[in-house]
Amino acid sequence: MIHPTAIVHPAAKIARGVEIGPYCIVGENVTVGSGTVLQAHVVVNGWTTIGEDCQIYPFATVGAASQDRKYVGERAYTTIGDRTVLREYVSVQRGTGEESVTSVGDDCLLLAYVHIAHNCIVGNSVIMSNLAQLAGHCEVADFAVIGGQVGAHQFSRIGRYAMVGGASKVTKDVPPFFLVEGSPAEPNGLNSVGLRRAGFTLEERSEIKKFYKLLYASKLNVSQALDAMRAEVATESGREIVAFLEAPSHRGIAK
């Protein structure tokens, strides 16, 4: 299952059923799970683990050294979960800092030219469209959708089921379930279609909408809106918004 033109280090851990296509390069400290396919011209190096049943398309790179000037060759990791698809020219780079990690979860779809920089944490079932770019230390929660040509500033957080419209510039944190777009990205309602498709109840969607209005359509500042949410919260989705706003933030909340 390894093409004769591929270069695979003898110490690499390659599970049964892996396919490694023409001109791929797989480094010494790489682990690849069963059923994963490296189509052609894929480079995987560094201390990298790729899960099972992934599809990695031509010219993708996984585990390359961080582009951070602070990186000096220390051991740092890259992990890709199960059933994740990396399309052409996707780049996922290892962390900066001893024993640090850049990770992408299960069932993600990263379209062509997506870039995941050092120390980013990307959850499960995340979709990133063509040319979406995450700078270092970004966090993207499960089921988020990031449109094409989006750029996210270092340390930005994007919450669960949030949606970022195409060509947006993310400079602040995006709370879960909300839709943002623009340059800089500003709130523009709820990810209503995504919430309905995911089976969120009417009660949950109503509370999400109420909290959106408290945060963005009232005269309350963030602290005051958060106090009002704490007093009224009744669903798990509402508690998730509260927890996101309470969590430490380098960037502040998109307003």
Amino acid 255: pLDDT: 83
Q: Is 16 helix (H, G, I), strand (E, B) or coil?
A: coil
Distance CA 226, CA 220 (A): 9
According to the model, what pLDDT value does residue 162 have?
Answer: 98
What whole-number percentage of the chain has pLDDT above 90? 99
pLDDT of residue 192: 96
The pLDDT of residue 101 is: 98
Q: Are 94 and 66 in contact (CB under 8 A)?
A: yes
| DSSP line for 105-116 | -TT-EE-TT-EE
Which letter does DSSP use for residue 34 in this model? Answer: T
The sign of the dihedral angle between the CA atoms of 159, 100, 20, 83 is negative
Q: Which amino acid is at 48?
A: T
What is residue 97's predicted lDDT score, i.e. its pLDDT?
A: 98
The helix/strand/coil state of 91 is strand
Indicate the length of the chain as a whole number: 255
Spell out where 57-138 has E strands. Answer: 61-64, 77-80, 85-86, 91-93, 101-104, 109-110, 115-116, 121-122, 127-128, 133-134
Q: What average pLDDT does the segment 228-253 reach? A: 98
Say whether pLDDT at 190 is over 90: yes
Sorted by where each starts, the structural domains of the chain and their CATH numbers stand as 7-194 (2.160.10.10), 196-246 (no CATH)
> What average pLDDT does the structure give for the chain?
98
pTM: 0.97
Give how far Cα 28 sits from Cα of 65, 84, 130, 250, Å: 14, 22, 30, 36
Query: Mean pLDDT over residues 121-146, rounded?
Result: 98
pLDDT of residue 207: 98
Say whether pLDDT at 139 is over 90. yes
Contact assessment for residue 44 and residue 14, using Cβ atoms and an 8 Å cutoff: no
**215 contacts 186 by C-beta, under 8 angstroms:** no
pLDDT in tens, 48-87: 999 999 999 999 999 999 999 999 999 999 999 999 999 9
Contact 29, 15 (CB under 8 A): no
